[in-house]
Amino acid sequence: MTEPIIVGDEGTNETVQPTVQLDAFNYFPTPVYKVNNPSFLNDVRLLMKSMVDEIKKTRKMHPLFPLYQTDNMVGNPAAKPLLDYIGATSWNILQSQGYNMDGVSVYFHEAWGQEHYKHSLHEEHVHGGGSQLVGFYFLDTPKDSSRLVVHDPRPAKRILNLPERDMSQVTIGSTAINFEANPGDLYILPSWVPHSFGRHGAKNPLRFIHFTVGVSYQAPTIDVDTGLPPEPTSDAEVV
């Protein structure tokens, strides 16, 4: 929360009553959603381990990029309960944001595991290719893990930003927010939001599932009697 702004406060030449408060309206927000659900941890950890173990058979860890990244998990039966949960949550998020989701389903572009070792990081980036949402499901987060960092998506504001009074506080002047994740944490944000991970400082690896979600507009079925498409409903299929 920002401090109340008094119109004509000390230091100005305005002559107004000091009790008059300036109204502030904040539009075009940058949402970040989080929920903790550890019920998928055991199965997804086993899947992650099996996929990384296969990678280790044929590839050594790169000295400058100390991480392993799995192939796409979409379609893997062991990942289906987690992805079903994320898919339903993603559809609800888009609906809650005011988008018309009638007749619209969500699907996964990709879902892959990342295992980061000490000094690894993930540079600031966004996801294109038609994705609407991106997110992370955290499996293992040892002490001194990398933190998820969400960056201000407005480049003009970041260029013109004044020095912050206290960078440890979240304010309108902040240009990045970091999150300390725990096992079972699910974070979802719009795909246009730049995000990154700071350097991993722990000896044990940080493990999470990274995913991108798109939407599909279903072609309406034509009524053979009227020649018209059916009336839209809100019972959209969630993949």
pLDDT tens for each residue of 185-216: 999 999 999 999 999 999 999 999 999 999 99
- In the predicted model, what is the mean pLDDT of residues 146-160? 94
Cα 230 to Cα 222: distance, rounded to the nearest angstrom: 7
Q: Would you kindly state where each structural domain of the chain is located, as residue ranges? A: 31-217
Rg of the chain, C-alpha, whole Å: 22
Write phi, then psi, for 211 (nearest 5 degrees).
-145, 160
pLDDT per position as a tens digit, 166-181? 999 999 999 999 999 9
CATH fold for the domain made of 31-217: Jelly Rolls (2.60.120)
User: What one-character-per-residue DSSP string does 198-209 give?
Assistant: -----SSPEEEE
C-alpha to C-alpha distances, 18 to 15, 23, 31, 194, nearest whole angstrom:
9, 14, 34, 40
Tell whether the model's pLDDT for residue 50 goes beyond 80. Answer: yes
